[in-house]
Amino acid sequence: GGGGEAGAPPLPEGTPTMAEPRGEKERSDYLRRVLSFRYVVCTEDDYRPNGDLKWMLLSRSVVLMPLKRRFASWLMEDAFLEPYVHFVPIKADYSDVEEQIDWCEEHPSEAERIA
C-alpha cells in the first residue's frame, strides 16, 4: 500500500511484536504475556479499535495510547479515560513512545498510580 494518514506508521526495525493469537489457549497465553510487561502500547489498526484495551487498563501495566483515537469501542471508554490518570498519552504516529516511557521511568510513583 501507498500508506496514508489512516494507517499507523511502521514500528522501528527490531521492535518486538506479537502476532495476534488464533485459538483460545493462544489467546490466553498472549494476554498473560502482554500483561506481564511494565508498559503496553494500545494500538489500532485501519479498521477497528483495540479490543484488548479493557484488559490492558485492568492490568498492572502502564498503558500508553494516542490521546485522539480513531475508533471508539462499545465501552465508550473515550468519554471516561483521562490522560495521566488512566493512561499515558502518546502521539498518533507513535513518535514519542520512547520519550513517554522515559517520563514514566523518571516519575515512578505517578506511573504506578496510572498502572
What are the tens digits of pLDDT across the range 7-61?
A: 556 656 665 555 555 677 787 787 778 778 899 998 876 555 566 788 888 889 9
pLDDT in tens, 46-60: 555 566 788 888 889
3 within domain boundaries: no
pLDDT at 32: 78
**Residue 76 clears pLDDT 50, i.e. is over it:** yes
16 within domain boundaries: no
47 within domain boundaries: yes
- Print the domain residue range for 69: 39-114
Share of the chain above pLDDT 90, in %: 33
pLDDT at 73: 59
Q: How many other CB atoms sit within 10 Å of the CB of residue 16?
A: 6
84 within domain boundaries: yes
Lowest mean pLDDT among 5-14, 45-54, 80-89, 94-103: 5-14
**Structural domain count of the chain:** 1
Q: How many other CB atoms sit within 10 Å of the CB of residue 30?
A: 17
From the list 77, 13, 7, 20, the residue with the least C-alpha distance to 47 is 7
48 within domain boundaries: yes
pLDDT at 20: 57
Whether residue 84 contacts residue 109, with contact meaning beta carbons closer than 8 Å, is answered with no
Flag whether the pTM goes above 0.75: no
pLDDT at 24: 74
